[in-house]
Amino acid sequence: MAWRQLLLACCLSAAVLLTTLMLCSPTSLQEGAGASVGTQQEAGQDVREDVEQKIFMQESDASNFLKRRGKRSPKSQDEVNAENRQKLRANELRRAYYEEQRNEFENFVEEQNDEQEARSREAIEQWRQWHYDGLHPSYLYNRHHI
């Protein structure tokens, strides 16, 4: 158990050392051990400002970014293109959905018609067998061929 605590302490100290080295600027590392605390703080401020400049945009850019177009102002070509792409995609999905529904319904109707034809054919054949008197040839041989 003690070796786990020792390993954890070593890892934590290495992580703290690495984070402090990352916060320090490369110039302060090159100056060596003679650097004063004030220059390290200034270097830390410079690094922080660089990071803020990378993350945050200028106030004017941000306000332009968040401005909304008025209802009566014309749309940009990008907005028109994006809306047209959305409409085309929705139409395509709708068309595919209704085509699939139509195909399923056609298959269902075809199966129903086939079943009905089979039932009626069986019923007609049973009726013919029941009413056949044996004197005349059966209906199958008495048909007129066209």
C-alpha–C-alpha distance, residues 36 and 46, integer Å: 16
Give residue 145's pLDDT band: very low, low, confident or very high (50, 70, 90): low
Q: Does the pLDDT value for residue 135 go beyond 80?
A: no
> Would you state the pLDDT for residue 3?
81
Percent of the chain with pLDDT strictly greater than 70: 66
Cα 110 to Cα 133: distance, rounded to the nearest angstrom:
36
- For the segment 84-127, what is each residue's pLDDT rounded down to a tens digit? 999 999 999 999 999 999 999 999 999 999 999 999 999 988 88
CA distance 33 to 25: 14
Give me the pLDDT at residue 100, please: 97
25-83: per-residue pLDDT in tens? 555 555 554 545 556 666 677 777 776 666 776 776 666 666 666 777 888 898 899 99
Mean pLDDT of 6-32: 73
- pLDDT for position 138: 64
pLDDT given for residue 15 in this prediction: 83
Predicted pLDDT at 65: 62
Model confidence at 133, pLDDT cuts 50, 70, 90, reads confident
**Residue ranges of domains in the chain:** 75-145
Nearest Cα to 97, choosing from 107, 108, 86, 105?
105
Answer for the pair 38, 30: CB distance below 8 angstroms, yes or no: no
Average predicted confidence (pLDDT) for the chain? 78
State the pLDDT at residue 116.
96
